[in-house]
Amino acid sequence: MMPLLRRIALLLPLAVVLSACGPSPTLKVDEEHEGRSLVMKTGQSLIVSLEANPSTGFGWYQADTSAPVLVMEGEPHFVPGEGAELAGAPGRQELHFVAGKKGAVTLKLTYGRAWESGAPADKHYLLQVTVE
């Protein structure tokens, strides 16, 4: 019986250490987080979910894609909202990012039409991100 207790005593700290090595949870932010700061770990995912109505041609776009600190993955994804069965109903646009490397960046998103590049954006979304 003693060898079993000794094994448990040796394995328990190892299990605790290994459980702390798991992947960091995906962070999800929305309009309430606009202008705030957040800290991420390298490789951690971030989802920015903002109200949008792409049926009008408007959508959220990343203003500056040159910073390797936070990298956008894929294209924005539209999630229908209440009354989605109605044509032109608004919903939420989700943009997925991954913390690429250590550093700090201001994530700036603009709401507008992609083909109206010279027009001022309708809305802006700013988020200060630090990757450790």
Q: Which residues contact 118 (CB under 8 A, 6 or more apart)?
A: none
Q: What CA–CA distance (Å, rounded) separates 51 from 100? A: 26
pLDDT at 2: 53
Token pair of 63 as six digits: 């203003």
Residues 21-50: tens digit of each pLDDT: 556 899 999 999 999 999 999 999 999 999
Residues 55-107: tens digit of each pLDDT: 888 999 998 877 789 999 999 999 988 766 666 778 999 999 999 999 999 99
What is the reported pTM?
0.76
Q: Please name the residue ranges forming H helices in the chain.
A: 2-19
Tell me the CATH class for 23-131: mainly beta
